[in-house]
Amino acid sequence: MSKFFVDKKNILAKSINITGEDVIHIKKVLRLKCGDNIIISDGAGTDYYVEIQNIQQDLVETKIISFEKNIAEPSINITLFQGLPKSDKMDLIIQKGVELGVKKIVPVITERTVVKISGAKDSIKKCERWNRISMEASKQCNRGFIPKVDGPIFFSDALKMLNGGNLNILPYEKEKDNRLKYILNDSIKAKDIYVFIGPEGGFSQEEVEIAVKSGVNTVSLGPRILRTETAGIAVLSILMYELGDVGNG
C-alpha cells in the first residue's frame, strides 16, 4: 500500500488532504482512483489508513478509516556523521541509512574530503536533494518519521555537538583492540549514539586524536578496510542488531 507524509495542518478530525508533488504522483504515476486505500503519516509516529474520496488538480481528499502508532521506529537514536564522499555515494548512504533506522544524518567536511561545496546555494541545493531522498526512503520502508539530513559542517563543529550522555563511535583502521561489540557491551543502555564515518581516505591521525579527546571511541570493524559507503551501513546494521532493533528483539 502506498504511503505519503503530510503536514499536521492537513490532518482534520475525519479527513486528510494531500497537496504538492504527491498529488501528481498519485494521479500520474500510481494512477490511483477514488475508493483506493493509502497510508498517510503525520511524520511524528502516527499512521493513518485512509480512502481516497476526491482527486482534484492540486488536491487529493481522503477519509480516515483508522489510525495507529507506527512500529517501525527504533528505540535508539542514531546520528550518522558522514564524511562527504565523491560522486553520488551520499545518495546511497542516505537511502540505506534511513532504511536501517538512522535518526539523523550530518554530512561532514574533513581534511581528506574531496568534494567542494560552492557556497551557500550549492549547500542548500544538495541539502534539498538529500532530504528528498530521505523522504522517499522513509515512504518505502514504512518509517513513521523522516530523518533529517543537515547541511554540511566541518569536523570540528560536529565534535561540538557531542555531550557526555552519548555513545560516540568512530571506526578506525589503525584500531586493533577495541571492537565495536566490546563498546556496546559497556554502553547497552545508551539511547543516543553518534557514529562518525570518514570520507574516502578516512580520517587523518590528527582528527582521530581530537575526536578521542572529545569523548569519541575508536573501534575496529575487523581486518578488512571498508569503503566509506559500506562502513556506515555496516555499523548501523550491527548497532540495530546488538541493541535489539533487528533480529533479536
pLDDT tens digit string along 83-135?
999 989 999 999 999 999 999 999 999 999 988 877 778 888 999 999 999 99
* Residues counted in the chain: 249
How many structural domains does the chain have?
Answer: 2
Helix axis angle for 119-140 and 89-100, nearest 10°, is 40
**Structural domain boundaries enclosing 33:** 3-69
Do 185 and 229 belong together in one domain?
yes
Q: Which of 12, 36, 69 is a domain's end point?
A: 69
**CB-CB contact of 164 with 198 (8 Å):** no
Low-confidence ranges of the chain (pLDDT < 70): 165, 186-190, 244-249
pLDDT of residue 246: 64
Can you give the pLDDT at residue 245?
66
Evaluate whether residue 247 is within a structural domain. no
Taking a C-beta distance cutoff of 8 angstroms, is the pair 200, 241 a contact? Answer: no
Residue 154 in grid coordinates: 566541518
Query: Do 28 and 87 belong together in one domain?
Result: no
Between the CA atoms of 146, 46, 1 and 23, what dihedral angle is there, to the nearest 10 degrees? -70
Grid cell, residue 157, equals 563543529
pTM of the predicted structure, to 2 decimals: 0.91
Helix (H) or strand (E) holding 90: helix 89-100
